[in-house]
A and B are shown apart, each in its own frame.
Chain A
């Protein structure tokens, strides 16, 4: 069974891992920084990765390395691509202001070396990651544990009126009509209780008789 908590946490890792480099550099704006902080507080793996990123020797920071801005940009893109397993994008990431570029570049080259290795480990520990798409990002209902599935059924019933049991248009197909005809119990409070309380067969029969008008 898929644990939604785990899925969401891995989702978060997937989204925030690329920002750990900037976070370690102190280059994130406040909202982004807060977002990463909140996640790192709850994720041991990202905490380790962040610790590795912050463990950049000062000597590396102090060494004078002269590279073009394109070099740094390419480094960043390579790291991001490795993290995301994505193809190169057509539009490059905006450059930093020139005044801060050299310092950011030094930090970037140092962190890049650690980041590539660190993230490979990180990504291995997170694999397989959920796909990032509208319909695949969340587990399917079928992936939920039975108890969660039943709870979801009850939860949805607090959002949708009973009249929507028979949706109009394309949803009203033979399959759905058959679902409704064969599974009226799913939406009934009695059945929810029965699922929760594991009623015995006699009680089921009694309730069936009541619902079908056979009760004397």
Chain B
């Protein structure tokens, strides 16, 4: 397990070293996202017992999904601004507003579909056992992150809880 785990970390480091494209360039503003992706890949590599190659592929899937999310969020933000502008006009241009609503809703739908898309892509490279582990680890990760953020933003609100015992695969 130790040997396997160390290889997984290697994969993640390689994923870091080989990242090169798009938004993920090593600019300071992207550093938190890079760190977060590194963290996530290492966690997934450990939890799913991924090989170096699979960890790299998983990192690519996560990066692609993150970049899509980033782009969609920007578009959604722009759509919000346009909606506010349209609502401020009198009389309201119903046709224009209808289109803007459809656009904004489309961005929301695409954002909502991202997890499904990334999971489908992950399915193509993961064994069924790894897929099962991924399904189990996702909510655990979400809960961990949510609790950590809450502790960070609300100091003293919630004492740290002991880590949950690992589930048998």
The residues of A with any CB-CB pair to B shorter than 8 Å are 3-5, 8-9, 11-12, 15, 35, 38-39, 42, 132-135, 137-142, 144-162, 164-165, 167, 170-171, 175-176, 179-180, 182-183, 186-187, 189, 192-193
Contacts and interface: CB of A to CB of B under 8 A. Distances in A.
Interface of B: 1-2, 5-6, 9-10, 12-14, 16-17, 32-33, 35-40, 42-43, 46, 62, 65-66, 68-69, 73, 76-77, 111-112, 114-116, 118-119, 138-152, 158, 160-161, 163-164, 166
B69 A154 contact: yes
A164 B139 contact: yes
A4 B12 CA distance: 11
A26 to B, nearest CB: 21
A12 B5 CA distance: 11
Given A15-B10, A137-B46, A156 B69 contact: no
Given A35-B10, A141-B145, A150-B32, A158 B115 contact: yes
A189 B73 contact: yes
Secondary structure dominating the interface of B: helix
Given A150-B149, A159-B138, A187-B146, A42 B17 contact: yes
A156 B141 contact: yes
Nearest to B141: A156
B66 A155 contact: yes
B33 A156 contact: no
A160 B115 CA distance: 5
Contact of A189 (B9, B40, B68, B76): B76
Contacts of A192: 73
A4 B166 CA distance: 22
Given A159-B115, A159-B119, A187-B146, A142 B160 contact: yes
Q: Which of A145, A158, A176, A180 has the most CB of B within 10 A?
A: A158
B50 to A, nearest CB: 13
B110 to A, nearest CB: 11
B142 A5 contact: no
Contact of A186 (B9, B35, B149): B149
A148 B62 contact: no
Q: Which 4 A-B pairs have the closest CB atoms?
A: A167-B139, A151-B36, A147-B32, A160-B138
A144 B37 contact: no
B16 to A, nearest CB: 7
Given A134-B46, A161-B116, A175 B161 contact: yes
A182 B151 CA distance: 12
B146 A144 contact: no
A134 B160 contact: no
